[in-house]
Each structure stands twice: as structure tokens, then as C-alpha cells.
Amino acid sequence: MFELNRKQIEGFNNDGFVIVDSLMDGDRIRAAEKRFGNLFRGQFETGVTPDEVNWLEGRDNPALTRQICNGWKADRNIARVVFDQALGKACAILGSWPGTRLLQDNVICKSPGSKSLGFHQDNAYLDWFEPGELITCWLALDATSEESGTLEFVRGSHRWGQFDMASQFHAPENYRKEMYEVAETLGESPDIVYVVVPKGGGSFHHGWIYHGSGPNRGSTPRRVLVMHCCSSEAQYSPHQLARGTGHVYSRYKRLSDNIMDENYFPILWTRDGYRTPALEAYCGTDEGPQ
């Protein structure tokens, strides 16, 4: 069971991220890895289609990074990873929250030859709820390297402020360009850090930190599972929804209130011991609150 130490928490607060060599046990990593490719072939173990299928074999450009959002709905091996309560607890500690809600997962594969992902801030994309802060856990299913196009952070950039979404997220010609333009405006000198970890390692990062990744110039894929998390107390923001944000996830808004339904945004951990009760039954495990 993963647990943050004081040094890691301090590093996150200073840098906006923390890199960890081991986040998940090998059995769950291997199980997720086994059916990872099925998702991009449209083969969904539960029969439920993920909320966003941004890349599908035979439909989309093989040079682009493969991405699916909320793979947990389509495959319980993915769910057993992204529903991990120890990782949820870590996100709550880093976010100073009473608990953690899973807002969205990303299933990502950057095959050899795949192009870059533009530098961006996660909060700029997921801004339809309040309090509108994210903590993201990025979990590697393959050992990562600079050559394979691993994740890159700009140290301390979570303190730069709030900026718009990247003008081009997938395969920009210069994936760092807009970040450098912001840095120049602010008089900042970007300190770029690569997430180089073994299989099962990864990182946590702040919702306002600038990050992206270069092309995969290696000979092996770079597969990751990503958990975008928010406070367990987060609710829909009518003001933000009125601006046209949340065009995918607004479909789950209830008629009578702004509560985020746990069937779609499950609670992973709270300090008073609560966890969405259906998670263990869905995953076929007997893991309970801790």
C-alpha cells in the first residue's frame, strides 16, 4: 500500500509535483496491461463504452498518441488500478482535501513513433466543478525514459497563474512553444524535469502545473494510467456549465441539485472512512475502507 512521506509532500508543495519509483503492486499492473490494447480495438470487457474514445485502431492516425477517458467503465482491470484507495488518500493529502473523488481516468499509449502532446495545465480542461482544483496521479505501465516521450514537468510552474487551454494538444509542431511564451511573459526560466521511473512507478502533480511530453523516439510503447482527482466535496458549478464547459460530463448532472453522482464520479477515500460502497462489488474485490 503506497503512502506518502514528509519529504515527498514537501517536494510536491515546492515543485508542484513529486516523482515516485513504486506506486502499485505488480499483479494489478500486469492485469491492466493484459487488456490495455483491447480498449483501443473497441473491445470493452464490461460492455460499456468509455466516455471518450479519442483513438481507435483502424479509425485514427497511428502516429498520434492513443487516449481513452474513463476506461474504468469499460474494463474492471483498469478500475482495480484507478479505484485504489491508497492513491486516493495520497491525492487528498496533497490537495489538503477531506477526501478524494475520481473525476476522470485516462488510458494512454504512446507507441514508438507517436508524436508529442502539447504543454498544458490540467485545470484549464476540467473546470466545470467547484472547488475547481485537481491532483493527478500518473502511473506508468512501462519503464519510462526521455527517449520514449515520458511526461515532463516545469518545476514550480503551478505558481505561474491560470492560462487557457493549449491551442493544439495532440501532435503540435513545437510541443513546448506556448509554455515558453508564457514563461517569457512572466520572466521565468523553465526548469524541465522528466518523469523517469520503472514499471509501476509514476508521479503526482498539481492541476496548474505546466506539463506535456515529446514524441516516442524509442522502440517500446509508453503506456500509462492517469487518475484526475478532485475533492470528495466537489460539486457541479452552474456558472462554469453556463459558459459551455463540461460538454461531455455535464450529461451526468442531476435535475434537482449540483451533486456529482458517485456512480460516475466515485469517492475513493475520505478521512472519516467513507468510500463509495459499490466499488469493491464492481471490481470483484473485498477491499474495504482504511
Q: Which residue has the cell 499509449?
A: 109
Do the domain assignments include residue 3? no
| Residue 288 clears pLDDT 50, i.e. is over it | no
Cβ atoms of 58 and 242 within 8 Å: the answer is no
Confidence of residue 286 (pLDDT cuts 50, 70, 90): low
| Residue 287 clears pLDDT 70, i.e. is over it | no
State pTM to two decimals.
0.95
DSSP letters spanning 39-89: HTTT--TTSPPPSEE---TTTS-TTSPEEEE-GGGT-HHHHHHHT-HHHHH
Do the domain assignments include residue 67? yes
| Residue 100 clears pLDDT 70, i.e. is over it | yes
| Residue 40 clears pLDDT 80, i.e. is over it | yes
pLDDT of residue 290: 33
DSSP letters spanning 9-41: HHHHHHHSEEEES--S-HHHHHHHHHHHHHHTT
Do the domain assignments include residue 209? yes
Q: What is the mean pLDDT of the chain?
A: 95
Do the domain assignments include residue 1? no
pLDDT tens profile 114-171: 999 999 999 999 999 999 999 999 999 999 999 999 999 999 999 999 999 999 999 9
Do the domain assignments include residue 189? yes
Do the domain assignments include residue 9? no
Do the domain assignments include residue 57? yes
| Residue 289 clears pLDDT 60, i.e. is over it | no
pLDDT tens profile 5-25: 999 999 999 999 999 999 998
Write the CATH number for 79: 2.60.120.620
Domain housing 64: 16-271
Do the domain assignments include residue 285? no
pLDDT tens profile 155-173: 999 999 999 999 999 999 9
Confidence of residue 95 (pLDDT cuts 50, 70, 90): very high
How many distinct structural domains can be found in the chain?
1
Mean pLDDT of 250-277: 97
